[in-house]
Amino acid sequence: MVAPGDIANIALRRMADLGIPPTPENFERFYRDTESTLKLAAPLAEAFRARSELAAPEAAPVSWGAALDQFGLRLEQATGALATLIERTGLAAAPAAMPVPSSPSQVVAPVFAPAPLPQVAERQPAPAQLPREVRTLIERMDAATTEIRDALQASRAELGETRGELKSIRDELNEAREAVQHDPLTGVLNRRGMDIVLPREVARARRVNAPLSVGMVDLDHFKHINDTFGHQAGDRVLVHMVELMRSVLRETDLIVRYGGEEFLVLLPDTDMQGARLVLDRLQDIVVKSPVIHEGRRISVGFSAGVAQFRDDDNGATLVLRADRALQSAKRGGRSQVVLAEA
């Protein structure tokens, strides 16, 4: 806070620099203008101090953007006040400047006689000159504003680069996770992916009291296909089988490549009879859709076991019961769907 005596001395020095007679009226006007300018400069000093504290480790979490906006607002206010001051002090210098009082006591009770303000029309106005203190303040404000703006722009640029790098890393991690959880040949979930989605589906079925069924599907005589037509033909059969399953299943149903030629089908909101209808339909389509490989016809069939989630089940026991039903289907002659015990 600037003392009144200091404000008075600054006002008198400015009047002397501009050649304005220090009459009581002029002194009061310059005193008020100086006081207003210093009040506007005080928040700017606080903004500079806040910027310095931002650079310190113990600084409070203040937004660079908010600090810059506040500084810009204060700068505009100060500029407006200075413009008014320049307009008011743009008069020509007086013929003889009065001496500047050497102490605040001289300012409080002026000893000079009142004198009228010089009239602008009586003489040619001289170019207005900014007081040295005001010019210094403006230069410091401009330098600090430029420094803060440059630092903010650099910080924003670095933040944008960091965000881009983080997004790239996140995308790569997502791709890696998808690759780990999916079978590279068929694109369906693998055992690792099943370990993630199966507990989720079991928890959902338990939470909303909805049916959940699984079907364990095993291609019949797949080893014979590999031995007769080659492993490329076997891979083509596996891909063809997944395509047929997707044509029958809903978007909410899930396919897992459980083993070499074994697939697990997860059927949310489906009871055991509904699951059997789905697999019976799939079997009809598979029989009618042989694989053509290098001009040779390959017939495909499968056996399946179906189990429905029970209150005493978890993911592992549900799959185990479906697998046991599959073994019964294979022992019973293959190319059939067997239901697990309820």
What pLDDT band is residue 82 in, cutting at 50, 70 and 90? low
At 321-340, the pLDDT tens digits run: 999 999 999 999 999 999 99
CB 303 within 8 A of CB 279: no
**What single-letter amino acid sits at 206?**
R
pLDDT for 72 equals: 54
Taking a C-beta distance cutoff of 8 angstroms, is the pair 261, 222 a contact? Answer: yes
Q: Which of 218, 249, 208, 213 lies closest to 342, judged by CA?
A: 213
Give the sign of the dihedral formed by CA 324, CA 330, CA 335, CA 336: negative
CB under 8 A, 24+ apart: contacts of 143-149? 144/44, 144/48, 144/51, 144/71, 145/71, 145/72, 145/75, 148/51, 148/64, 148/67, 148/68, 148/71, 149/68
CA-based angle 183:226:293, to the nearest 5?
85
Amino acid identity of residue 319, one-letter, is V
Which pLDDT band holds residue 94 (cuts at 50, 70, 90)?
very low
Tell whether the model's pLDDT for residue 103 goes beyond 60: no
List phi, psi (to 5°) of 182.
-125, 150
Out of 261, 262, 294, 341, the active site residue is 261
Local confidence band at 162 (pLDDT 50, 70, 90 cut-offs): confident
The set of residues, in sequence order, having a beta carbon less than 8 Å from that of 332 and lying 6+ positions away, is 338
294 among known catalytic residues: no
- Look up the pTM and report it: 0.52
Q: What's the maximum distance between 2 C-alpha atoms anywhere in the chain?
A: 127
Q: What domains lie within the chain, and their CATH numbers? A: 4-162 (no CATH), 191-339 (3.30.70.270)
